[in-house]
Chains A and B, each alone.
Chain A
């Protein structure tokens, strides 16, 4: 634990440079979206620094980053698509993160991630209907 006068121990990570807009990779090596925002939890103790609680990925979170009128329009689309779900969308719990490097690796399978539901929808509704979709890659 570091007090006001000391250099912090432990690895340093720049949130914007090293987390934001970084590629998420699931446990099978599949690409699972980008980190669009980071959620912190602030403890009651005002001197205790906030902790990273979750990574946010998905259109709603991306809209926050883009900001402005366009961002608000994107956010409204996401809300309409999310209308029927109660869970907070697009959260990847910090406990699912395996490592941080040039990409951020997760311990979860991307099919289990809420932020990846767009991919699953396109796959089930469109792509799987075309012959050869399961064709083995080289």
Chain B
């Protein structure tokens, strides 16, 4: 499964509510240690939102804090969908169970 296959995919809940599109994936470094002494990365959650432009700038993820005007335009805390909440995945949509989402946040 490639990252490019996840990005831009529409995410809906089992109730039919549309949460937006996938624009990032949160990875956590708690996997088995590899050959370089570097622990593996596991996909913990998907970041879902309604905007598609400006998601790589760093405002949504919180690493860039200024200038004021750009932050106002691009800062949108993303909705995090844990991997376990996904019940169905295809090339064009991902269906998530809202109950499993709320448990983890």
Contacts and interface: CB of A to CB of B under 8 A. Distances in A.
Instruction: Report, as a range, how many residues of chain B touch the other chain.
Output: 35 or more
Interface residues of A, number: 40
Interface stretch (A94-102, A114-122, A128-136): A94-102
Contacts of B31: 51-52
Interface in B1-43: 1-4, 7-8, 23-31, 34-36, 38-43
Nearest to A64: B4
Contact of B23 (A16, A61, A95): A16
Given A14-B61, A17-B56, A2 B4 contact: no
A13 interface: yes
Interface string B45-71: 001000000011010010100000000
A52 B28 contact: no
Contacts of A83: none
Contacts of B58: 17
5 contacts: A2-B30, A12-B27, A13-B29, A42-B1, A51-B31
Interface of A: 1-2, 4-5, 8-17, 19-21, 37-42, 47, 49-52, 56, 61, 64-65, 67, 94-99, 107
Given A16-B23, A37-B3, A40-B43, 19 more contacts: A4-B103, A10-B30, A13-B27, A15-B24, A15-B25, A15-B27, A17-B61, A20-B3, A37-B4, A38-B2, A39-B1, A51-B42, A51-B43, A52-B42, A64-B2, A67-B4, A95-B34, A97-B36, A99-B38
